[in-house]
Chains A and B, each alone.
Chain A
Amino acid sequence: AQSVSQHNHHVILSEAASLELGCNYSYGGTVNLFWYVQYPGQHLQLLLKYFSGDPLVKGIKGFEAEFIKSKFSFNLRKPSVQWSDTAEYFCAVVRGGSQGNLIFGKGTKLSVKP
């Protein structure tokens, strides 16, 4: 069965620190990959997505993610976090070429100290 693993449950950083959140998936075929963010008390919003092409994908608010096919990974990065980045981050996968359902990871809570 297809699964998505997020390595960190809770990450605590100070403002201006660099961020990397891990995401690995288990499906061996072509995949489409996403990162969603959920700010406190709000619904999920799309940060970025990868379908094909350049494996380094840039999203909103200075976030980027790199697809490494050989490692089945799609890690999320940001060079310098802000207090306003405090949120929960979810990696999600859908099989490429398929109009199937998104499978979400368990999420990583990010707390940024001012």
Chain B
Amino acid sequence: NAGVTQTPKFQVLKTGQSMTLQCAQDMNHEYMSWYRQDPGMGLRLIHYSVGAGITDQGEVPNGYNVSRSTTEDFPLRLLSAAPSQTSVYFCASSYVPDYYNSPLHFGNGTRLTVT
């Protein structure tokens, strides 16, 4: 049972480059989300999705795009990387955010450095 799988684990980009962080879950979860974690800032929600074809912005969406073409996958795209996007990114999922019955499951994170 893989749970939430994020790739890559580490990535270094140059300013202006674009890339996609992958997130896949095999639990048939409808709800998926992306957070970024920065020292002293906790986790901040970037984008989330409540099902295939439905996405919405979180607290810090600027500079990121998402799409949800399947239930399993929720990729996060950096359009033009900036040093301010250096962070650790976590993908999380649950059965439609019913936190009583379905805790949020986190992936192991992607550590991104933008130089």
Residues of A near any B CB (own CB < 8 A) = 4, 6, 9, 32, 34, 42-46, 49, 51, 90, 94, 99-107
Contacts and interface: CB of A to CB of B under 8 A. Distances in A.
B42 A107 contact: yes
B46 to A, nearest CB: 11
Interface of B: 31, 33, 35, 40-45, 48, 50, 58, 90, 92, 96-100, 103-104, 106-109
B43 A104 contact: yes
A44 B106 contact: yes
Contacts, number: 55
Nearest to A51: B100
B97 A100 contact: yes
B25 to A, nearest CB: 13
Contact of B99 (A42, A43, A49): A49
Contacts of B92: 44
- Ordered nearest first, which 10 A-B pairs have the shortest CB separation? A106-B42, A43-B106, A104-B43, A99-B97, A46-B103, A104-B42, A44-B106, A107-B42, A43-B108, A51-B100
